[in-house]
Amino acid sequence: MIHHVVSWTLREDLDRSASIDRIRELLTGLVGTVEAIRSLEVVENVAYPGKNQDVAVVATFDDLVGLDAYQVHPDHQAAAAEIRGLVTSRAAIDWER
Amino acid sequence: MIHHVVSWTLREDLDRSASIDRIRELLTGLVGTVEAIRSLEVVENVAYPGKNQDVAVVATFDDLVGLDAYQVHPDHQAAAAEIRGLVTSRAAIDWER
């Protein structure tokens, strides 16, 4: 199983909860569309604001082939493009467990 | 339950696997010493090298009080100080699930 965590810091000139809601809407909307997704949730940071990232997607895939299928899927590409307009930094990590 | 993920990019002038091994040794060594840790593993990135972070600690705590106890624990402080010398970036997120 591949665990996929991408975290972002949000643009401060935009409404924080609106940005989180939109990111959640965009990415959870992919479940059922992108077959490779085994689980996906968008989580909000609850500690050390300003030092921590603000929001993250936490997802799982069967394997790297599934992760790649998710990454290149046109609906994910569109979601990622919109998310890039809401954030100021991105950090991703994928691990096997 | 608080989920805690801190990911790093590693200094490229240092040996990558030696750095990952040392981070793993430092942080897994806290299990049993820092009572608040409920689970902790150090994971290596397996996808999109150069774009993704390189390594992360993935841990859980009962609550924010437990997370804080971990953060301020002298053994964790010492480990974090050494890790800062091995990495070029850090991204952290803590969420409740």
pLDDT (0 to 100) of residue A60: 98
Cα(B70)–Cα(B64) distance, integer angstroms: 10
Q: Specify the pLDDT at position A6.
A: 98
- Average pLDDT of chain A? 98
Hunting for tokens 């953060």 — which residue is that?
A: B71
pLDDT tens digits, residue range B33-60?
999 999 999 999 999 999 999 999 999 9
User: Residue B10: enclosing H or E segment and its boundaries?
Assistant: strand B2-10
CA atoms of B80 and B74, how far apart (whole Å): 10
Cβ separation of A67 and B89 shorter than 8 Å?
Answer: no
CATH class of the region B2-96:
alpha beta
User: At B6, is the pLDDT very low, low, confident or very high (cuts 50, 70, 90)?
Assistant: very high
Q: What average pLDDT does this structure show over A85-94?
A: 98
Residues of A in contact with B96 (CB under 8 A): 43, 46
Q: Does A52 contact B97 at a Cβ distance shorter than 8 Å?
A: no
The C-alpha of A5 sits at a distance from chain B's nearest C-alpha, in angstroms, of: 9
Quick one: pLDDT band at residue A83, thresholds 50, 70, 90?
Answer: very high
Please name the residues in contact with B19: beta carbons below 8 A apart, sequence gap of 6 or more.
B10, B11, B55, B86, B87
Mean pLDDT computed over B15-38: 98
First to last CA, chain A: 6
What average pLDDT does the segment A24-31 reach?
98
Q: In the prediction, which pLDDT does B41 show? A: 98
Question: What pLDDT does residue A43 have?
Answer: 98
Residue extents of the structural domains in chain A = 2-96
Q: Which two tokens stand for residue A35?
A: 């077959």
Query: How many angstroms separate the CA of residue B44 from the nearest CA in chain A?
Result: 6
Q: Do A46 and B92 touch (CB under 8 A)?
A: no
> To the nearest whole percent, how much of chain A has pLDDT over 90?
100
Instruction: Quote the pLDDT of residue A63.
Output: 98
Task: Among B5, B8, B60, B97, pick the best mutation site for testing chain A contact (most A Cβ within 10 A).
Answer: B5
pLDDT band for A90, please (50, 70, 90 cuts): very high
Average pLDDT over all residues of chain B? 98
Q: In the structure encoding, which two tokens stand for residue B29, read together? A: 């060594």
